Structure 1
Amino acid sequence: MKLIVTGATGFVAQEVIRQSLRNPNIKSIVALARKPVVPPPGADASKLKSIVVKDYDEYTDEVKKEFSGADACIWTVAITPTKSKEIPFDEVKRVCQTSTLVGLSALHEAGLSRPFRFLYMSGIAAERDQSKTPQMMPEYSLMRGETENRVLAFAAEHSAEKFEACVAKPGLITHDAASVARAEELKLKMGLPSVTIEEVSAAMLHQVLHGFQKEPLLNGDLVEIGQQALGADDSKA
């Protein structure tokens, strides 16, 4: 498989890349970011290619050539709910929605393998039903839900070309003792579920490699699939 990972210097994307580099089924990784991607220490970097873009809504012909022949993309580009409070909403929407849709078009134009699987990483609170008013951060939640709808609509429009899409909707993603403690607190207060960074990354990789089991992939799905994938990987060690 040739895999594209966008937002490749980000929190989750770095773990996706780390796991991809040790996965023998992934032969080539295109790591797309606004600065060079450095492989993890000790990793075999021979199958990793770092591609730097000015932004995620601008793709030159040279960049599109790097997409050619790809089998899947895991799209992690976004502004998180917490960070979005400090940024004008127009810019948040540009990064979270406009960039995603421009990226979809750029990928489609690049000459992809078929089937092609596009996995969009969203969040548990994103609301697809635009007639609803979410209690928390309604403008942000509706915008992310609208983006999910538009990603799925794009795939449906190109379904005859075997262009497939799925949305991952994790809760809080934990990575250390502090984030685990925070996740436990939020679960008690708000019922917010969590998933480890290893689990969500393993789950997304499993889905683009083997096919989407369901849509969307909710937090519980990501935990279950991720644990199974990590267990299978451990059994080979």
Structure 2
Amino acid sequence: MKLIISGGTGFVATELIRQSLNNPRITSVLALARRPVDVPQNLGPKSDSGKLKSVVVQDFDRYPEEVKKQLEGADACIWTLAITPTKSRNMPWDVVKRVCQDYTMSGLEAIFDARGTGKSTPFRFLYMSGIAAERDQTKTPRFMAQYSLMRGETENQVLNFAASHPEQIDASVAKPGLILQPGSMLHWLRATVLWWMASVPSISVVEISAAMLDQVLDGFEKDPLMNDDLVRIGRKALSDNRN
């Protein structure tokens, strides 16, 4: 499988790359980012760092032909590029929306166009959103309503684009809660507070990465993939990989 991972320098993307390099079913990993993406640390003994190709994208609204050339023949994409709710509070809204929504759709369309028609299987696109994103645009979410509605609208746009190409694209949305770094006391404390105050669930970055890779490799179980689904799928995938 030739896999594209957007936001290649990010927290989740780094773990996705690490696990991908250790997965023999993934033959090529293209990491999209504004700056070069390095090989992650702590690779397993069977990892193949030569599978990683860093693709620098200066503007995620536009994809030059030399970038599209590198995206040709991709089998799947996990789109992680976004601005988190916390960071969005201190940024202009037009920037937040452009990064979270416009970049997503520009990327999906560019990758789809670059893929070509030589593949016999549909292209799989997994959009990583969040548990609070609201697809129903008539509702008013309790938590950061403008942000939650925008992320939900982006989910709708991704799914509508896939529905307009039913034989060529399969799409789903991953909607995790708080994503934790294993062993981080700060993350654990924050997860505990959010659970008790707002019933926000959590998942480790290792589990969500394993779950998303499982889904693009073997096909989407459902849409959306909620936090409980991701924990279950991720733990099973990690267990199977150990055996």
Structure 1 gaps of 5+ residues are none
Identity of aligned residues (%): 60
Q: Deviations over 1:20-61 (max 9, x none)?
A: 000000000011100001002355311110010102212011
> What is the distance in 2 between the residues matched to 1:160 and 1:29?
24
| Secondary structure in structure 2 of the residue aligned to 1:144 | helix
Which segment drifts farther, 13-22 or 46-55?
46-55
Question: How many residue pairs get matched?
Answer: 234
2:130 paired residue number: 123
> What is the distance in 2 between the residues matched to 1:7 and 1:53?
10
1:166-177 matches, cutoff 5 A: 166-175=172-181, 176-177=184-185
TM-score normalized with structure 1 length: 0.97
Matched, 1:90 2:98: no
Displacement of 1:86 after TM fit?
0.4
> What is the distance in 2 between the residues matched to 1:142 and 1:82?
16
Q: Which runs of 4+ in 1 moved over 2 A?
A: 41-44, 111-114
> What is the distance in 2 between the residues matched to 1:49 and 1:18?
13
Structure 2 gaps of 5+ residues are none
Q: Deviations over 1:67-124 (max 9, x none)?
A: 1111000000100000000001011000000001111110111125331100000000
- What residue identity is the alignment partner of 2:192? E
1:17-96 matches, cutoff 5 A: 17-41=17-41, 42=43, 43-96=47-100
Matched, 1:100 2:140: no
Which segment drifts farther, 109-118 or 78-87?
109-118
1:196 paired residue number: 204
> What is the distance in 2 between the residues matched to 1:233 and 1:143?
36
2:239 paired residue number: 231
Which segment drifts farther, 167-176 or 112-121?
112-121
Q: Deviations over 1:178-226 (max 9, x none)?
A: 2012101110111000000000000000000000000000000000000
Q: RMSD in angstroms over aligned alpha carbons?
A: 1.0
Q: Deviations over 1:118-159 (max 9, x none)?
A: 000000000000000011110000000000000000000011
